[in-house]
Structure 1
Amino acid sequence: MGAVYLVRHGQASFGAANYDVLSDLGRAQARAVGVELARRGVSVSAARCGTLARQRATAELALAESGSGTPVEPDARWNEYDHVDIAAHHGGGAAQDSADPRAYQDALEKALTAWIEAGADGPCAETWPMFLARVRAVFDEVSSSLGKGERAVVFTSGGVISALCGDLLGDAARGMLSLNRVTVNAGLTKVVTGRSGTTLVSFNEHGHFDGEATGLLTYR
């Protein structure tokens, strides 16, 4: 039985000119999840990440802390949905505003709902069916490559993780909309593969942010 650990990237720079950069807190979160992987004794057979800067930086910091010498392989299919494009076409162009993140989150969730409902006929460069197809494909590729007892760690984003988890539970769209809002930065999700198929074992674990590390817990 193989296992895939899906790790959400650390906190990015919400409201800044360049969102796709880990904040100082995000870097600390990335190191903390690496320590957690080491504590669990996860022997990394394969490491993957998206090509976004926040995903790659999280991978580099976490793997260094975990003690894994496994090189990380970037693959754009692990990238998050394009929130700017979706907001432009389905959310009236709502922009990130560090002064009112809750209002932006509400606007984004409405835009995501409209994006999903628009289906293949939607105006975005990447429609919901296209997004789902690519994340299914890259996940299947990684999970099917694992032998008995092998472990892969993938550093990606909340939307990707939520869609995949929803898919494993029978409803990718519902997972995307309901799970995405509660994913924590540098949270851990575990999926196992074996003779009986692919099974979601845990979602969004963040016990490594309990106790003295509670200040590292963020959702956005």
Structure 2
Amino acid sequence: MGAVYLVRHGQASFGAADYDVLSELGHAQARAVGIELARRDVAVSLARSGTLSRQRVTAEVALAECCPDGTVEIDARWNEYDHVDIVARHGGGGAQEDADPRAYQGVLEKALREWIEAGASSPCAETWPMFLDRVRGAFDDLVSSLGKGSRAVVFTSGGVIATLCGTLLGDPATGFLSLNRVTVNAGLTKIVTGRSGTTLLSFNEHGHFDGEAAESLTYR
């Protein structure tokens, strides 16, 4: 039986001129999830990442802890949806406000719902059907390349993880809207593959942020 570990990137730089940069805490979170993978003795056969800086740096920092000799294959299909474009074209528009991330989250969730409802008619450069197709394609290609007993680790984003989990649970759109908002930075989701098919085994594990590490737990 093969396994795929989906890792959400560490905390990015909300409200900064360049969101796609790991914060200081994001670096610490990336190290923590790498240490957790090492603790679980995950023998990484494949490592993949999207092209976004927050994903690639999370991969670099985490793999230094659990698989220092490993290499990462970069694949843009693991990138997150373009939240800036979606919010600009759906939900009334809005911008990230560093002082009030909760308010922005409300704007984002409204825009994401409208983006999904618009389907192929959305004015966004990437519509929901396009996003869904590329994420599924990336996952299907990964699973097809897994050998018996292989372990793959993918460094990606919350929307991608939520979409795949929703797909495995039978409803990608509902899964995306429900699960995306609760994915934690540097959380772990485990999917297993075998003769019986592909199964979601765990979602959003973050025990590595319990106890003394609780202050490192973030959602945005």
Q: TM (normalized to structure 1)?
A: 0.99
Q: Deviations over 1:1-32 (max 9, x none)?
A: 11000000000000000000000000000000
What is the match of residue 137 of structure 1? 137
Q: Is the 8 A contact 1:189 1:204 kept in 2?
A: yes
Q: Is the 8 A contact 2:44 2:67 kept in 1?
A: no
Paired residues in the alignment total 220
What is the match of residue 218 of structure 1? 218
Q: Does 1:169 align with 2:169?
A: yes
Q: Is the 8 A contact 1:2 1:150 kept in 2?
A: yes
What is the match of residue 13 of structure 2? 13
Q: Is the 8 A contact 1:10 1:22 kept in 2?
A: yes
What is the match of residue 199 of structure 2? 199
Q: Which runs of 5+ in 2 are unaligned?
A: none
1:154-193 mapped onto 2 (5 Å cutoff): 154-193=154-193
Structure 1 position 144, deviation (Å): 1.4
Q: Distance in 2 between matches of 1:157 and 1:143?
A: 18
Q: For structure 1, which segment, 10-19 or 92-101, has the greater mean C-alpha deviation from structure 2 after superposition? A: 92-101
Structure 1 position 67, deviation (Å): 3.3
Q: TM (normalized to structure 2)?
A: 0.99
Counterpart AA for 2:29: Q
1:107-122 mapped onto 2 (5 Å cutoff): 107-122=107-122
Structure 1 position 111, deviation (Å): 0.1
User: SS of the counterpart of 1:185?
Assistant: coil
Q: Does 1:65 align with 2:65?
A: yes
1:16-95 mapped onto 2 (5 Å cutoff): 16-95=16-95
Structure 1 position 93, deviation (Å): 2.5
Q: Distance in 2 between matches of 1:141 and 1:107?
A: 34
Q: Deviations over 1:128-175 (max 9, x none)?
A: 000000000000100111111100000000000000000000000001
Q: Distance in 1 between matches of 2:19 and 2:145?
A: 33
User: SS of the counterpart of 2:4?
Assistant: strand
Q: Is the 8 A contact 1:12 1:22 kept in 2?
A: yes
Q: Is the 8 A contact 1:80 1:156 kept in 2?
A: yes
Q: Distance in 2 between matches of 1:67 and 1:73?
A: 14
User: SS of the counterpart of 2:153?
Assistant: strand
Counterpart AA for 2:143: S
User: SS of the counterpart of 2:62?
Assistant: helix
Q: Distance in 2 between matches of 1:2 and 1:96?
A: 39
Q: Distance in 1 between matches of 2:165 and 2:68?
A: 26
Q: Distance in 2 between matches of 1:92 and 1:72?
A: 38
Identity of aligned residues (%): 79
Counterpart AA for 2:19: Y
Q: Is the 8 A contact 1:44 1:68 kept in 2?
A: no
Q: For structure 1, which segment, 84-93 or 73-82, has the greater mean C-alpha deviation from structure 2 after superposition? A: 84-93
User: Please, what is the CA RMSD of the aligned residues?
Assistant: 0.6
User: SS of the counterpart of 1:80?
Assistant: coil
Q: For structure 1, which segment, 93-102 or 26-35, has the greater mean C-alpha deviation from structure 2 after superposition? A: 93-102
Q: Distance in 2 between matches of 1:212 and 1:202?
A: 23
What is the match of residue 148 of structure 1? 148
